[in-house]
Structure formats: C-alpha cells, structure tokens
Structure 1
Amino acid sequence: MTKVAWNSKELTVGQLSERSGVAVSALHFYEAKGLISSRRTAGNQRRYTRDTLRRVAFVRLAQRLGIPLKTIKEALAQLPEKRTPTREDWARLSAAWRAELDDRIEQLQRLRNDLTDCIGCGCLSLDRCALANAHDRLGEEGPGARRIDTRLCPPANCMPCAG
C-alpha cells in the first residue's frame, strides 16, 4: 500500500482506491453518478480531497444496507456543498431509511420461511398453490411474487401458504 502523507490535502484516484478499498472503476462510476467529485490537474488527472474517503465509506455502507444509489445521492445532496457526512448526518439519514430496511428484512424473512412451500407468484404450478392461491386470485392483482413482496401484499392482507 502506498503511504500517503498525513498532511496531504488531496489524493490521486489510485490512492483513494487503496485507502477506501474501492476499485478505481467504481470510483469513476461514483463520480459519474455525482456521489463524489474531483478536480482535474493541468495534466487532466483526478485529485480528490481527503474528505472524499468519508463520502466513499458512506456510499459503501449505504450500498451494503441495500440503499439504491439514487437514494444515497439524494441523501448526500441534503448536505452543504463539499461537506462529508458527520456522525449526526449518518444518524439522521439512517433513521429515515429504517422503515425501508425493516420492510426488506420482513420480505427476506417471508421469502426464507416460504421458500420450500410457495413462491407466491400465482403460477398454480405447485400442489399447494391451489390452496394458497385458489383460482389464481393473485394473478389478477398483477405480476410478480405477490405474497412475498411486502410492497405488493402487506402482511395483514396476505393469506399464509397452506401447508
């Protein structure tokens, strides 16, 4: 690993990649999406301020939580220009994402619990579908795994898989 001087105010894309553990191509992608920014030298090389490390860490953690890049960008746009997220920013932003994460957790739990019995799609391909989805009732509501996707079928409205 290349040692970056502690008082260096800027990092090259290679240094940022090494320090953040994120591939150079991903950093270029983040920049193209407006998640991070750089300045260009006279030789057209990218230079990132040191605080970009925190922004990259913020993006990576949010991605690991399953937050879409568009939502991450919107969150970063709420911060004053060029400022990296602070602990307080992270607390506020992550609290706003809590309901979405809870919904995903519930979907994954339902998927895990119903995985061997039914995929909830209205396909009538399994013996149990005739019981849990009589007359392809779910197919009339639209495409997709209706019983498992809590955005399409909230738990209070879905019939449990008959088993």
Structure 2
Amino acid sequence: MALHSIRRLYPLWRDLTGIRPGAVVDPPILLLASPYLAAWLNAARDTYFHGGSPDVRLGRYATEIRGAVHELRRRAPEDLHTLARDLAWNEGFTGRDALVLTEAYWIKAAVGAGGWEAERPMPSPLPSSQHLDDEVPWLLAVAEAYRMIHPATAAALLAASGGPAQL
C-alpha cells in the first residue's frame, strides 16, 4: 500500500521539492536527461530505491509536500486561492471534489510564482491533518487532480491574481 501511494504522490512531490530544497531528505535525482526512458528510470529510482522503508518514505513524502505547500503560502498572491476555488466551482465541482481541485489548482499556480514574494502571506484555508492515515488519501486525491491540470490553466490563474506569469 505505501509503495503504491508513493508512486502516485511522486509527480507532486517531485515538482514541490524545489520549493524548500534544504528540507527534502532525499531530493529527486536526474540520472539521465532523455525525456522518455530517463523519466521512468528517474521515477523508479526515487520511488523504489531511496533510503528507508516504504512506510517511512511515504511519511516523508507527505511531510515534505506539506512543508512546500506551507512555503508556497508566502509566495502566492493572496487571492489566488479564491480564484482557484471559483474555477473549481465554475467547472461544476462541489464538496470534497471542489476542495481537492481547488488545492491542486492553487499549488500548480503557486509553483509558477517561483521566488516571488507575495505582499501578504495567504492564510491557510487548506485542510491538513496530523495523522498520516488521514493525510495520505487527501494528498493522493490532490496529486491526481494536480497531474491533470494543464500548465496554461495554472499560468492564467497566477496572472489573474496579479502574480508573475512564469509557467
């Protein structure tokens, strides 16, 4: 179960590791630069062969993702979360699905802010849990939604919020 979850969280974790590189125990490694075989090999190395048991790595992934999301609060424009929520609702999502998509939109757009500092850090309306059993299913849902978001959509959200359009 833990290894399957690690594989599903990997794309989100990989994209967020650059936000707080010093806080990542085993950052992703670029073994080869080729876009096809190398991506698979890099992902396999990072998910199967990093130190620690799968349960330890899963806990680390969840902690490192949440740490990066916390850091993104300082970089994202204040109204980016509201714009992400409105977009999810306008697409017809409600309840938990809307919350998941809102967080995924917000993360994808906030990553595009790069090193930009927001005038005021965003308050934290995003759910989180102290228990891995609660946190992992939430992060898995966010990671799946995150994977489906087109970079142009995230760039448009960031631009609409007044942030830098760097995606």
Q: Report the TM range for the smaller structure's normalisation.
A: under 0.3
TM-score if structure 1 supplies the norm length? 0.27
Higher relative contact order (CA 8 A, sep 6+): 2
Which has the larger Rg?
1
Report the structure, 1 or 2, having the larger helix content. 2
TM-score if structure 2 supplies the norm length? 0.27
Report the structure, 1 or 2, having the larger strand content. 1
